Amino acid sequence: MVITTISSREFNQDVSRVKRSASNGPVFITDRGKASHVLMTIEDYQKITDKKESIVALLAMPETDDIDFEPPRLNNALYKPADLP
């Protein structure tokens, strides 16, 4: 992985070159010498965020109508049913 640092001015002058550089690793874009933005491919972004779908989203899908889901019961003293009058 190659990390590239460029100024905002360089970014504005040659966006295509910067996008090509992002395919080899993140590109840090500076504003007045201080890093202000990072450009990376969507694949790299998805790797670092590792966003998994939630069980709620998966169960809400129309093609999952035939799936039975029975969550396990918790057997812990902290999770006893409430004794209400």
Domains defined along the chain, listed by start? 4-64 (3.40.1620.10)
Checking if the pLDDT of 78 tops 70, the result is no
What is the DSSP annotation of 56-81? HHHHTSGGGTT----PPPP--GGGPP
61 to 30, 53, 54, 65: CA distances (angstroms): 42, 11, 11, 8
CA 73 to chain centroid, in Å, comes to 31
- Please write the tens of the pLDDT for every residue from 28-64: 999 999 999 999 999 888 888 876 777 777 667 666 6
- Please write the tens of the pLDDT for every residue from 7-38: 999 999 999 999 999 999 999 999 999 999 99
What is the gyration radius of the CA atoms in the chain, in angstroms? 24
